[in-house]
Each structure stands twice: as C-alpha cells, then as structure tokens.
Amino acid sequence: MIDVAELVDNDFLRQYELKIDNHLAKIEYSLQERKIFLTKLIIPEEINDEGFCKEFLTAVFQQIEERNLSIVPTSPEIAKFIRSNRKYKRMLPVGLRI
C-alpha cells in the first residue's frame, strides 16, 4: 500500500514522484489554468506491476482532486486507467471524452 505522504509533487520538474526501494516512479505533467495535463507515466521495471500502478495513479488522482483541478490524460496508460475506473471520469474537463 502506498503512503500518500510519500508522494511528492515536484513543481520544479513538473512531475509527481514516488520513491520505492531506490526506484523512482513518476508522472510528468503540465499545468494550464485549472487543468492538469498528465503527459507521461514512468514506472521502473523493478516495481512495475498492475497493483503498484493502480495505487500510484489513485494517490496522484487524490492529490489532484484535493487541488480541485481537471485531468487531461495525454498518456495512453493514464487514459486506460480512467476508462477502467469510471469514478475518475468526473475529473475530466467538460466536453472531453476518452
């Protein structure tokens, strides 16, 4: 289980980061107005499994929701996650369908 406190929003590099066993998982983003464009998901092979990916994305989405931002997924992996987790579709901007 991922501790949300370990998740870091690195404003300088514009990425969410989570360090696990000396490996860094990250989601790169671009922030424009009240929208966050999630552009790239990078998870090292050593920690990449379906369970970790889901927990990581859930933690990131919780932080984004707390900031009251809309999500624009430009990464295929993130769009797939939203499609399979309907509760996050409400975070998409009006008019965006995936």
CA pair distance 40, 13, nearest whole angstrom:
13
Is the pLDDT reported for residue 23 higher than 60? yes
Q: What is the homologous superfamily of the domain 4-91 according to CATH?
A: Gcn5-related N-acetyltransferase (GNAT) (3.40.630.30)
The model carries a pTM of 0.89
Question: How many whole angstroms separate alpha carbon 3 and alpha carbon 59?
Answer: 8
48 vs 1 pLDDT, higher one? 48
Going from N- to C-terminal start, the domains of the chain cover 4-91
Mean pLDDT of 75-80: 94
In the predicted structure, residue 2 carries a pLDDT above the cut 70: no
Tell which residue, 29, 23, 64, has the closest CA to residue 43.
23
Answer for the pair 5, 11: CB distance below 8 angstroms, yes or no: no
